[in-house]
């Protein structure tokens, strides 16, 4: 049981290491996630041994180089990011708005790719590797809309939904109603629910089983979104469908090579 409890602490510890806070000490980790200092030290020492963390001077820790190796291993497999990349390029080229690719990871939105828009005034958007709450983002609502009721309840009923702006939906019943509409429409919008002057539209990416595995979105200044909403919604839905088609094709097993028999001369 002790080993299981240790494993359960690995995720919360690794979650602390972000671009904004790349370096942590044992005391800080223990205080932030509410565990004994000795436990934090033990887990972090194990993560150093596996290469997921590196211990620097003065007992400070950073993400280890093993993460790069794991990233390359992921890149070498069929993954939604590689399938989406050319379509995100075309989306930005055609419409000039910042676009994102995101997945649902342990109850939060994880941004796995991003391309900046080409307009003079463009939304910078969330950086790759950033995690945000799902209920206040277009990509998050698309991903929440495909969950069964038990999973959804674990996401939105356990703790209060945080309000980021006056537009954020924080009532679970109202959010459930919105998610039913999103599932029916095939896309979601965020009308300033995380940042007041940023509006977004997102659509789902599906795998060969029809399951939603990611979401594509564009993030647009509110003033520009109001006049381009229909156009951008269609473009995002079409892009997500194109990514889905490529993902399904990439997951198909390769046809076996049949040797050609030649008559002996």
* 113-145 pLDDT per residue, tens: 999 999 988 898 888 888 899 999 999 999 999
pLDDT at 73: 64
pLDDT at 2: 46
237: tokens are 């839905």
Identify the structural domains of the chain with CATH numbers, from first to last.
2-69 (1.10.10.10), 78-251 (3.30.450.40)
pTM above 0.85, yes or no: no
22-25: long-range contacts, CB 8 A cutoff, minimum separation 24: 22/62, 22/63, 23/56, 23/60, 23/61, 23/62, 24/60, 24/61, 25/58, 25/59, 25/60, 25/61
Contact 102, 214 (CB under 8 A): yes
Mean pLDDT over the full length of the chain: 88
Q: Is the pLDDT of residue 257 over 70?
A: no
Mean pLDDT on 159-184: 95
């Amino acid at each position: 049981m002790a080993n299981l409890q240790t494993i359960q602490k690995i995720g919360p510890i690794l979650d602390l290491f972000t671009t904004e806070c790349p370096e942590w000490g044992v005391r800080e980790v223990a205080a932030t996630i509410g565990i004994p200092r000795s436990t934090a030290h033990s887990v972090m020492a194990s993560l150093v041994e596996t290469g997921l963390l590196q211990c620097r001077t003065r007992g400070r820790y950073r993400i280890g180089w093993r993460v790069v190796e794991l990233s390359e291993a992921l890149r070498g497999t069929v993954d939604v990011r590689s399938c989406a990349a050319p379509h995100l390029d075309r989306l930005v080229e055609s419409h000039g708005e910042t676009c994102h690719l995101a997945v649902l990871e342990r109850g939060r939105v994880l941004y796995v790719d991003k391309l900046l828009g080409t307009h003079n005034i463009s939304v910078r958007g969330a950086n790759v590797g950033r995690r945000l709450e799902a209920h206040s983002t277009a990509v998050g609502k698309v991903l929440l809309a495909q969950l069964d009721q038990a999973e959804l309840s674990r996401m939105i009923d356990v703790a209060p939904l945080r309000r980021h702006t006056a537009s954020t939906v924080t009532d679970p019943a109202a959010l459930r109603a919105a998610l039913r509409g999103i599932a029916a429409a095939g896309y979601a919008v965020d009308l300033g629910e995380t940042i007041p002057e940023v509006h977004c539209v997102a659509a789902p990416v599906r795998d060969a089983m029809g399951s939603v595995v990611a979401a594509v979105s564009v993030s647009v200044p509110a003033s520009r979104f109001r006049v381009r909403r229909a156009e951008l919604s269609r473009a995002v839905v079409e892009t997500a469908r194109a990514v889905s088609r490529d993902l399904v094709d990439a997951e198909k097993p390769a046809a076996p090579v049949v040797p050609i028999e030649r008559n002996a001369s």
